[in-house]
Structure 1
């Protein structure tokens, strides 16, 4: 199947957000709408989704979403007391990683997929700043399914930003975003459909 991905980042509208200590770029229609829907359905059905536990205040608690950690064999990472080893690449996700690498001129060799059943499932304030990702990682986030509000706040200054991430959108977080900002996906009680988010990263192989 020919994937309907854009190959030229000048072909369609984008938004730049020059923030204190960070830069965001949002492409609202990076993925064609029919392909976004097909991919959403395919990944929901074919991936081995788990509701993992993380350690909070010394106790193991289930995260309020389903997830898959996927990538090259060396791309293990540790988050909140738990070490995650990658599942093997799904062909469609690997094709997207390769397309993103060309499109953004950034290497990507792993991805965290988060599946939110509805607006009651969420992700709290955090930064993608695990040591495995390096000093200033570029994170590419692709959204499928229901539109959800995505919020960011500066760690030490009174700056906040909220974006609506629609199906097929691509958000690139770079230039200090993971060092100086936190982000979250809050609950939205009126959202009754599933949302799938893929956040692509790069982990260097150990020498």
Structure 2
């Protein structure tokens, strides 16, 4: 894997990681589309409810539930297609992940706002492992102004079909990431983000969504309502 480092940021990017382990990604995408109980939760932004701009599912070990938009989300058991991926990641990274957030971006209109995965229930000494399946999409990164000098420039990383991205500590403490909308993308991407959480604190919200240079709630970012930075990265 290729290491990508900035002050306060440590990433590892493995291109075509799934294919390198003999996994046919198109077949996997089709199985996930069928076997995962996808949902589209409503979030309240500025007093109005909006559907989350993507489909989601939460898989986890018993006791690893979480609260989102005021509701406790049910735990979906590990599906037949996901369990082997968790085993492969454990062999690669030495971490037995106990939870997984699945996001299904049906077209380029689906998106994720700026956020850092730094909620207290996450083990902040463990990596977060992200697998991409389907059409390539750009994941954007920018420093959190409260912790890094403004000289650190935002940047984009194109995640292609089968890629593995590992976000190592202390990345979440100093950087945010987002998946912006792309009008020309008309096909699907499924993202699997494996996490290690502490079950005793798992009733918190799943992510902190803070705007770049202005206040924003976690709900706003989940609904894609956080402001975009003035940058071409």
User: If the length of structure 2 is used for normalisation, what is the TM-score?
Assistant: 0.78
Residues 137, 59 of structure 1: alpha-carbon distance in 2 compared, 3 angstrom cutoff? farther
How many residues matched? Answer: 194
User: Larger strand proportion, structure 1 or 2?
Assistant: 1
Contact map agreement 2:31 2:81 (CA 8 A) in 1: no
Say which is worse superposed, 82-91 or 170-179, in terms of deviation: 82-91
Give the distance between the partners of 1:124 and 1:28, measured in 2 at CA: 24
Aligned ranges for residues 32-47 of structure 1 at < 5 Å?
A: 32=19, 35-47=24-36
Give the distance between the partners of 1:48 and 1:67, measured in 2 at CA: 9
Q: Which runs of 5 or more residues in structure 1 are unaligned?
A: 1-13
**Aligned equivalent of 2:144:** 155
Give the distance between the partners of 2:93 and 2:160, measured in 1 at CA: 20
Aligned ranges for residues 69-108 of structure 1 at < 5 Å?
A: 69-108=58-97
Say which is worse superposed, 99-108 or 64-73, in terms of deviation: 99-108
Deviations 1:87-136 (A, max 9, x none): 11102211111210121112201101100111011001011122211334
Give the distance between the partners of 1:34 and 1:89, measured in 2 at CA: 18
Contact map agreement 1:55 1:82 (CA 8 A) in 2: no
Q: Which runs of 5 or more residues in structure 2 are unaligned?
A: 202-233
Say which is worse superposed, 188-197 or 126-135, in terms of deviation: 126-135
Residue 82 of structure 2 aligns to a residue whose secondary structure is helix
Give the distance between the partners of 1:192 and 1:87, measured in 2 at CA: 28
**Aligned equivalent of 2:160:** 166
Moved over 4 A (4+): none
Per-residue deviation, 1:82: 3.7
Deviations 1:16-61 (A, max 9, x none): 1111112000001101186111110100012111111233334432
